């Protein structure tokens, strides 16, 4: 029996969303973006999360930061302690300051990073696994040195996972926690050695296939029971249902144009 736990999230509406540059394989500057539809789909996601019983804070979007809608990348928090982001590409660097101001208003302890990292894009947390473990990706956006920096900032063990397929440039498009101790992931996104580590650590993980990974099915948000994921990831939804979870599909076609889906738009706040 899977168990839901109320969560607190941070989202930023895509009022200024556009694909004005290409910093991942999914971004095509020649493909037009329907900003009105993007906002409508984003609102649908926010309403879904609140309907499921969760709290959603909203971070005001800023002109000139079209990727700010991908709120997961701005920081990573555990137990009211925040490890800030330091973006790889200059187009997104100013987003980190907006997130820092938000956490300052909450009164949370904030660590300004030295190493390049993109927040929850490459970090996730399993609070009940071995007493609380951070899984951390590297290979494209986040430097592996940021993993030890995060471990020092947060006081939680960090397990490094190497990404090798540029289509899965962040951990959160290749792996996701389903509850406080188990995950779902696509093995092909990771190095062979990392795949061996994941098999050892998570023998009961739900394994996604390439098709669902490419449909951003793993870029999901789960509360331990309800799994909010892209509508196109039908095979993964069936696997999750068989494993005892409740798939909650949402449509995010416009935001996929920037290389993200559900999870990219949602940062989890962990007091």
Residues that are catalytic: 170, 264
CA distance 253 to 251: 6
Token match 């290749």: residue?
174
Instruction: Supply angle C-alpha 208, 241, 207, rounded to 5.
Output: 15
- Could you tell me if 12 and 69 are in contact, meaning their C-beta atoms sit under 8 angstroms apart? yes
CA distance 198 to 47: 33
- Could you tell me if 72 and 85 are in contact, meaning their C-beta atoms sit under 8 angstroms apart? no
- What Å distances lie between residue 156 and 99, 159, 244, CA to CA? 22, 10, 29
CA distance 192 to 135: 17
- What Å distances lie between residue 101 and 49, 75, 97, 106, CA to CA? 24, 11, 6, 9
What tokens were used for 78?
Answer: 């555990």
CA distance 177 to 93: 27
């Amino acid at each position: 029996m899977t168990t839901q736990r109320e969560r607190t999230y941070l989202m930023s509406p895509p009022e200024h969303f556009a694909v004005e540059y290409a910093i991942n394989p999914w971004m095509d500057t020649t493909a037009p973006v329907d900003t009105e539809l993007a906002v409508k789909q984003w609102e649908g996601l926010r309403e879904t999360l609140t309907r499921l019983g969760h709290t959603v804070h909203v971070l005001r979007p800023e002109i000139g930061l079209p990727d700010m809608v991908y709120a997961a990348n701005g920081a990573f928090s555990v137990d009211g302690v925040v490890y800030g982001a330091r973006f790889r590409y200059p187009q997104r660097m100013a987003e980190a300051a907006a997130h820092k101001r938000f956490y300052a208003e909450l009164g949370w302890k904030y660590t300004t990073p030295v190493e390049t990292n993109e927040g929850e894009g490459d970090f996730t947390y399993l609070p009940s696994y071995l007493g609380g473990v951070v899984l951390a990706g590297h290979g494209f956006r986040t430097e592996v040195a940021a993993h030890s920096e995060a471990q020092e900032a947060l006081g939680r063990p960090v397990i490094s996972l190497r990404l090798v397929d540029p289509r899965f440039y962040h951990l959160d498009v290749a792996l996701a926690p389903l509850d406080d101790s188990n995950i779902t992931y696509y093995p092909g996104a990771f190095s062979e050695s990392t795949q061996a580590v994941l098999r050892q650590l998570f023998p009961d993980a739900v394994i996604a296939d390439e098709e669902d990974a490419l449909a951003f099915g793993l870029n999901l948000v789960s509360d331990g029971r309800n799994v909010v994921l892209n509508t196109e990831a039908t095979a993964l939804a069936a696997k999750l249902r068989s494993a005892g979870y409740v798939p909650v599909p949402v449509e995010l076609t416009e935001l996929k144009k920037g290389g993200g889906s559900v999870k990219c738009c949602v940062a989890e706040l962990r007091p």
